[in-house]
């Protein structure tokens, strides 16, 4: 009589996994694993919420299996691990998808269609693929409580976010400022510095060397340089560095003033120079006549320490409305801000020849106009890294406008201290990529001029003199407002109230979705309005895990929000994940046809093979060259070896009628038990340090 069930040498691992999943469902194994740990020491895990308006890819499997393995390990070690799921529901990714579906190209299209109708489409979109996400989540063995998931679109979540902003407001750290901000003309909204960092790409732009004739000196020009020819139509001043030596260079029958250190690079060898020349205060003729009034010091040469001799001529064209350095310089010396660019990225009627033209698209014609007027000295291509919208891929403009900010610079030291308490994997991220980001922190540009998101809870008096930040529904009601059930636009836009004889209406902006996500530790529970005990029990997180680029995203927003509110980080350990590339090391994309759908892998090889590949083939932050064949190697080298070894044992155990009664141990038995104990010790040590690669190779 066979003691052990015979092993099928041709067993389909995917089919075997389906049987195991069915057993897990029938017995509620995940739920039971939590219930049996009631009263045990908790291990807190936060789920970084995906957006379910698209189908999950193989890179999502990477993050989800690493989100599973350590909570699962801690459960096996006796810890109580709740795993609350969540869904990120707001923001540009959702809006752009709906715009694409409806054939829209601008915010005007949305306004004509109706904000209520547009947002209803957005709400429907973010829930479209939840069933598919949940099916994949279960199939890959990621234990997650999806029945009690949080949604950032819920009014309860929004109310908690409002509460957080009221706390920041009361501390004097939420303010309105007129600054140059990264701005997407396609989406019609400002972006934060961490969003900008997600969208840099290498591009080739035209760079131009331009003559700025010195007033009162025939044949003498300052030689300026820029990689944004369209901003020359708004030239307000030229900037030079007081620590740099400037000279006159004779080229043919003209004299050019520029930095001595750059003469040879720009003009070539053997050019005759004289100097040094005092350039500060020189007045010059602007390259275009359309805007003349920049104040008393307009169209003069100004000192500025941001000017370098790394590129260009050492003479920097300054357009106050289109650069952070330019704006600060203009503010310091009293230059007027003139912005002839509309919010959609086109020139206004003041720029007569180019009115209605997109500024970047007008560059070639602007260069031609400079050539015809004799102002163009030279034009050439310039390859550099330039920020694009992280969602629609439109080149950003640096654009002077009014926005709302969180004064994160005021808590820079606390942010750095919060980071010191975090264990990073890999550890170089702590003081490298993330630490440097915190060191160079700028105030968080919070407001967004969009439609689908958490409304900024600030009401302003009609005379513009006073503003109130509202932190809850009840606070709105106490102010005499009728509070709608849905706190989204356009319903929240209709809320007004009277106070001290003034009518207050909401400013129309939304907030950055990254602030939404940074509030999840408390907002998922609707704290502090309810469930405060659950929040306190599960704060901070012992472990979070996302892609490395989240140092500019969720990792930052979590740390910033919790530091502002609670004076500490909301997480203690971070595991960073690298990119999932194709088998040749190229980025996967549908246009290249090199994507590998997760179900293709799961159907062919199963979840365990895919998990083992991700866990053991290399350190997760190094990235992966992912393919069906690569996962197939996991099957051949590990899964089948394990399966065939067990099959060999079963075959001979049944032939020899071996039971489960212990016999006298042999030397081989003792070696095997010793090896098992040593392997277990190493695996525990490495998994305690969040290292699946070494644990899997033990």
Q: Which residues are catalytic?
A: 49, 88, 514, 550, 554, 587, 590
Q: Using the 8-state DSSP alphabet, how is residue 306 labeled? A: T
Phi, psi at 362, each rounded to 5°:
-80, -10
Q: In this structure, are residues 297 and 282 in contact, taking their beta carbons and an 8 Å threshold?
A: no
Q: Which of 545, 460, 541 is nearest to 508 (CA)?
A: 460
- Which residues lie below 8 Å from residue 25, measured CB to CB, with a gap of 6+? none
Q: Which residues make beta-bridge pairs with 347?
A: 341, 355
Q: In this structure, are residues 504 and 497 in contact, taking their beta carbons and an 8 Å threshold?
A: yes
Phi, psi at 601, each rounded to 5°:
-75, -45
Residue 540 preceded by cis peptide, ω within 30: yes
Number of Cβ within a 10 Å radius of residue 643: 17
- Give the whole-angstrom CA distance, residue 311 versus residue 209: 11
Q: In this structure, are residues 340 and 291 in contact, taking their beta carbons and an 8 Å threshold?
A: yes
Q: Which of 687, 491, 586, 583 is nearest to 79 (CA)?
A: 687
β-pair type (510-511, 447-448): antiparallel
Q: In this structure, are residues 153 and 90 in contact, taking their beta carbons and an 8 Å threshold?
A: yes
Say whether 342 sits in a helix, a strand or coil: coil
What is the torsion angle, in degrees rounded to the nearest 10, for the CA atoms of residue 683, residue 684, residue 688 and residue 690?
Answer: 20
| CA torsion through residues 146, 152, 157, 160, sign | positive
- Give the whole-angstrom CA distance, residue 588 versus residue 635: 23
Distances (CA, A) of 470 to 223, 481, 495, 506, 614: 53, 11, 12, 10, 46
Distances (CA, A) of 423 to 89, 411, 426, 689: 29, 21, 9, 10
Say whether 86 sits in a helix, a strand or coil: strand
- Give the whole-angstrom CA distance, residue 220 versus residue 578: 54
R_g over Cα of the chain: 31
Q: Which of 117, 115, 145, 129 is nearest to 45 (CA)?
A: 145
- Give the whole-angstrom CA distance, residue 112 versus residue 118: 10
- Which residues lie below 8 Å from residue 478, measured CB to CB, with a gap of 6+? none
Q: Which of 7, 68, 199 is nearest to 643 (CA)?
A: 7
State CA 503 to chain mean position distance: 37
Phi, psi at 292, each rounded to 5°:
-110, -25
Q: Using the 8-state DSSP alphabet, how is residue 357 labeled? A: S
Label residue 674 left, alpha or beta by phi (over 0 means left) and psi (-120 to 50 means alpha): alpha
Residue showing tokens 């695996």: 683
Say whether 330 sits in a helix, a strand or coil: helix
Q: Which of 162, 159, 87, 121 is nearest to 517 (CA)?
A: 87
Tokens matching residue 37: 């740990």
- Give the whole-angstrom CA distance, residue 190 versus residue 182: 6
Q: In this structure, are residues 561 and 552 in contact, taking their beta carbons and an 8 Å threshold?
A: no
Tell me how far apart the terminal alpha carbons of the chain are, to the nearest angstrom.
37
């Amino acid at each position: 009589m066979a003691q052990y069930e015979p092993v099928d040498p041709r067993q389909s691992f995917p089919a075997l996994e389906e049987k195991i999943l069915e057993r897990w469902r029938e017995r509620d194994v995940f739920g039971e694993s939590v219930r049996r740990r009631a009263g045990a020491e908790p291990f807190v895990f936060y789920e970084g919420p995906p957006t379910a308006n698209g189908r999950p890819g193989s890179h999502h499997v990477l993050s989800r299996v690493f989100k599973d393995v350590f909570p699962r390990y801690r459960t096996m070690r006796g810890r109580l691990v709740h795993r609350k799921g969540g869904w990120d529901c707001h923001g540009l990714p959702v809006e752009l998808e709906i715009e694409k579906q409806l054939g829209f190209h601008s915010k005007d299209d949305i306004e004509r269609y109706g904000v209520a109708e547009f947002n209803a489409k957005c709400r429907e979109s973010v829930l479209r693929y939840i069933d598919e996400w949940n099916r994949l989540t279960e199939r890959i063995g990621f234990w997650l409580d999806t029945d009690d998931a949080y949604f950032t679109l819920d009014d309860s979540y929004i109310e908690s976010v409002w509460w957080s902003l009221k706390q920041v407001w009361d501390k004097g750290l939420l303010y309105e400022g007129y600054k140059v901000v990264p701005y997407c003309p396609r989406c019609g909204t400002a972006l934060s510095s961490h969003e900008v960092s997600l969208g840099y790409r290498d591009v080739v732009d035209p760079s131009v060397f331009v003559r700025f004739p010195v007033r009162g000196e025939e044949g003498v020009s300052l030689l300026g340089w820029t990689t944004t020819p369209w901003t020359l139509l708004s030239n307000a001043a030229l900037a030079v560095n007081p620590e740099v030596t400037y000279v006159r260079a004779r080229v043919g029958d003209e004299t050019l003033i520029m930095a001595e250190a750059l003469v040879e690079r720009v003009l070539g060898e053997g050019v005759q120079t004289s100097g040094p020349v005092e350039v500060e205060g020189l007045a010059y003729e602007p390259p275009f006549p359309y805007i003349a009034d920049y104040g008393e010091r307009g169209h003069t040469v100004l000192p500025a320490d941001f000017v370098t001799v790394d590129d260009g001529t050492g003479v920097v064209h300054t357009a106050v409305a289109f650069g952070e350095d330019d704006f600060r310089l203009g503010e310091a010396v009293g230059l007027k801000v003139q912005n002839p660019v509309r919010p959609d990225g086109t020139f206004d009627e003041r720029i007569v020849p180019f009115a209605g033209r997109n500024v970047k698209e007008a560059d070639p014609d602007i260069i031609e106009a400079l050539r015809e007027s004799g102002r163009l000295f030279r034009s050439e291509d310039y390859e550099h890294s330039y920020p694009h919208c992280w969602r629609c891929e439109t080149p950003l403009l640096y654009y002077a406008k009014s926005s709302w900010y969180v004064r994160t610079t005021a808590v820079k030291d606390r942010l750095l201290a919060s980071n010191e308490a975090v264990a990073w994997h890999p550890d170089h991220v702590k003081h490298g990529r993330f630490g440097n980001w915190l060191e160079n922190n700028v105030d968080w540009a919070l407001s967004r001029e969009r439609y689908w998101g958490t409304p900024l809870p600030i009401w302003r008096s009609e005379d513009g003199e006073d503003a109130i930040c509202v932190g809850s529904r009840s606070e709105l009601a106490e102010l005499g407002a009728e509070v709608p059930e849905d706190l989204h636009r356009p319903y929240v836009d209709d809320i007004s109230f009277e106070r001290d004889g003034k009518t207050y209406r909401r400013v129309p902006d939304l907030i950055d979705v990254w602030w939404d996500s940074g509030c999840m530790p408390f907002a998922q529970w609707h704290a502090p309005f309810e469930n405060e005990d659950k929040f306190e029990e599960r704060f901070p997180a012992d472990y979070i895990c996302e892609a490395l680029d989240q140092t500019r995203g969720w990792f930052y927003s979590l740390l910033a929000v919790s530091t502002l509110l609670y004076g500490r980080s909301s997480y203690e350990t971070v595991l960073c994940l690298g990119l999932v590339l194709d088998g040749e090391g190229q980025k996967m994309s549908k246009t290249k046809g090199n994507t590998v759908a997760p179900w293709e892998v799961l159907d062919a090889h199963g979840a365990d093979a895919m998990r083992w590949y991700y866990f053991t083939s290399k350190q997760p932050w190094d990235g992966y060259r992912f393919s069906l064949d690569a996962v197939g190697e996991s099957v051949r080298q590990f899964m089948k070896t394990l399966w065939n070894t067990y099959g060999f044992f079963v075959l001979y155990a049944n032939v020899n009628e071996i039971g489960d009664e212990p016999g006298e141990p042999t030397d081989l038995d003792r070696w095997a038990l010793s090896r098992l104990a040593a392997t277990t010790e190493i695996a525990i040590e490495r998994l305690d340090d969040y290292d699946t690669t070494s644990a899997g190779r033990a």
